[in-house]
Amino acid sequence: MNAPFGRLRRLTLDEDGADWPNRTASRMIEAGGVDWHVQIMGEGPTMLLLHGTGASTHSWRDLAPLLSTRCRIVAPDLPGHGFSSMHGARTQSLPGMAKAIAALLHALGASPDVAVGHSAGAAVLTRLALDHAFPPGRIIALNGALSPFEGVAGHLFPTMAKALFLNPLAPRYVAWSASEGAVARLLEGTGSRLDPRGVALYARLMRNPAHVGGALSMMAHWDLHALNRELPRLRAPIEFIVTENDRTVPSDGARRLATRLHDARVHSIPRLGHLAHEEDPALFAQLIFGLAGLER
């Protein structure tokens, strides 16, 4: 399945990222066929942070500095997102993305002690662990998107994603329509309310057709049904943090999934939405430190 997204102009750190959050921690590195944007900060046990579909390292803009007070943070833009390139279906399928992340970690000489994934980022982490790409001491899933959509949506959403991916005009149309007002409404639809700076950063990403194309390609190539069949053999401990106002990934899915896993616990927050770690980074730093055994 191919689409001409490779011809779309990508965001670049020099031209578009001068004021990017935590810019001093940014570097570019080639690994696994991807030109990666990765942010590295802090010292101590290594903690890998993977954002969700359509986001980038900016998703950790306030949380990463807090976590870096006790850890060495490694936070990349996923392939096709933000300032990272993609390598066609090789990097946009779930196994391909996991393989690309493994190559990045190898190039950095990084072996995460703890791995934190938001939404689809949590699915990449479980795929990495299932493939024995690295043995994290613990996976922490923030509103993790590990299960297929249920009912009609489970059939309709993947079909729509593939249709949009195959339409070469789709990324340009989405980018053209991504006003800050439209993006703010989209984010509020997840159950989260971000500050103006957070909305502006998402709008900057969504106004870039290459970023939109990368997100569409990721959604079109993923198979969460296959992941779900394999998850019961996951041996890495996994902590699910769910928020009850999440309108994107229902919290009940994590509770059901936890009953099928070898070592899983669910921790519920009775407020906040899908982007909860951006709404209250101090709360999530405290939660993550506790679950990772890094409390002082």
| C-alpha–C-alpha distance, residues 173 and 202, integer Å | 16
pLDDT value at position 41? 98
Q: Determine the pLDDT at residue 182.
A: 85
**With a cut of 50, which residues of the chain have pLDDT below it?**
1-5, 151-157, 159-160, 162-167, 169-170, 173, 176
Domain extent listing, the chain:
22-150+226-291
Topology of domain 22-150+226-291, CATH = Rossmann fold (3.40.50)
In the chain, where do the E strands start and end? 26-31, 34-41, 46-50, 72-76, 114-118, 138-142, 238-243, 264-269
76-109, pLDDT tens digit by residue? Answer: 999 999 999 987 767 888 999 999 999 999 999 9
Q: Is 194 left (phi over 0), alpha (psi -120 to 50) or beta?
A: beta
The token pair at 119 is 């939404």
Residue 271 and residue 278: Cα distance in Å, rounded?
13
Local structure of 39: helix, strand or coil: strand
Please report the pLDDT score of residue 1 as a whole number. 45
**Predicted local distance difference test score (pLDDT) of residue 89:** 63
Cβ proximity of 60 and 51 under 8 Å: yes
Residue 213 is predicted with a pLDDT of 86
pLDDT for the residue numbered 173: 45
